[in-house]
Amino acid sequence: MTERIVLAYSGGLDTSVAIGWIADATGAEVIAVAVDVGQGGEDLDVIRQRALDCGAVEAYVADARDEFANEYCMPALKANALYHDKYPLVSALSRPVIVKHIVKAAREFGATTMAHGCTGKGNDQVRFEVGIASLAPELKCIAPVRDLALTRDKAIDYAERNNLPIVTTKKNPFSIDQNVWGRAVETGFLEDIWNAPTKDVYDYTDDPSFPPVPDEVIIRFERGIPVAIDGQSVTPLQAIVEMNRRAGAHGIGRIDIVEDRLVGIKSREIYEAPGAIALIEAHREMENVTLEREQARYKRVIGEKWTELVYDGMWSSPLKKSLDAFIESTQEYVTGEIRMVLHGGTAVVTGRRSDVGLYDFNLATYDEGDTFDQSAARGYIEIYGLAAKQAAAREARVLGL
């Protein structure tokens, strides 16, 4: 029986060329695996046909938009996941769900090897291969770009020589990865980190310098998940799509960053994540109202570690699963409404309300109705500062002050 290889297929240049390239180099049959995580543009039937036209013997396609939103984006939202305090893990979040479907397809079609289109410089090679090792350690992994000398120039030449039905050419050199959580753009003139991005780099967001009138939005959360926008019930996917539309119209979520890749190099990336950035800002403020002080402080530490693990391709690691449990426990009372104004590249919270919040107007007010016992403060300060006072006194004795 001819060996079969499942290929993580995006429909773009590298993976379209990889179908024939792998077949030529290994003699194996290639099964293309395309997973819709809300990248838009083309429907699954078009992607399926392109894979077949490029030489795949089978094409497995899956509509995973709701799955991606529910099981991957929402945990990231609960964690307020921003790598380098900026990047909302656009690509990192999609790789585990793609891996899940690659494993499913490999078992369905009897494949022994999986392939991906990542380079040896990138993070995604790690995310794919560590993910496969966690879910299906029996599968071997190959990377045509990394292992079979498929450079970008060779890929373009191969595509043109074989009349492959792809969009990317030498005139359009950007490498783009996108899904419903955001969009990532790299390569081309962006590799010179002095070059400013041009307007053609962006697609999910309009120019924030020329915004429409301010847009006020009310987002309701229940246990950390957005469930309604302006009083209309929404699923997680619908919430992301709607906020992509409304925040994107104001240029919110444009990110230009030099980030530290897992493999040890620095890389310049342009991201657009209007919905993700607006929702994370709203969720953070909902937590400010509902989380206890020490719990909130420690969650920031846990959230940063969770973000690093996901960025580093450790979605299925024991530590990440343990952090999941902690983060989920913090969301028990993250319920209420946030009012935001979207305008000119910013999402500004202007109101909050929660029936289970910890904000007490009568404790906070300085006006009539104040119930805070200010006489207790003197004793509290005395006890709170006692250890520091004792240490300072010892230092004075030792130094003879």
d(CA 24, CA 328): 48
Are 180 and 240 a contacting pair, CB within 8 Å? yes
Does residue 87 have a known ligand-binding role? yes
Does residue 123 have a known ligand-binding role? yes
Does residue 124 have a known ligand-binding role? yes
Does residue 209 have a known ligand-binding role? no
Which residues lie below 8 Å from residue 196, measured CB to CB, with a gap of 6+?
Answer: none
Residue 74 to residues 69, 219, 274, 324, 345, Cα–Cα distance (Å) = 6, 15, 15, 11, 23
Give the residue from 190, 188, 182 showing the smallest Cα distance to 269: 190
- State phi, psi for 206 to the nearest 5 degrees: -90, 165
Q: Which residues are catalytic?
A: 14, 95, 124, 175
Pairing verdict, β 29-36 and 4-8: parallel
Each of the 401 residues of the chain gets a pLDDT tens digit; together they read 689 999 999 887 778 888 988 998 899 999 999 999 998 877 888 889 999 999 999 999 999 999 999 999 999 999 999 999 999 999 999 999 999 999 999 999 999 999 998 888 889 999 999 999 999 999 999 998 888 777 777 878 888 888 787 765 555 667 889 999 999 998 889 999 999 999 999 999 999 999 999 999 999 999 999 999 999 999 999 999 999 999 999 999 999 999 999 989 999 999 999 999 999 999 999 999 999 999 999 999 999 999 999 999 999 999 999 999 999 999 999 999 999 999 999 999 999 999 999 999 888 888 887 888 888 999 999 999 999 999 999 999 998 87
Does residue 11 have a known ligand-binding role? yes
Does residue 127 have a known ligand-binding role? yes
> For the chain, which domains are there?
4-177 (3.40.50.620), 181-353 (3.90.1260.10), 361-399 (1.20.5.470)
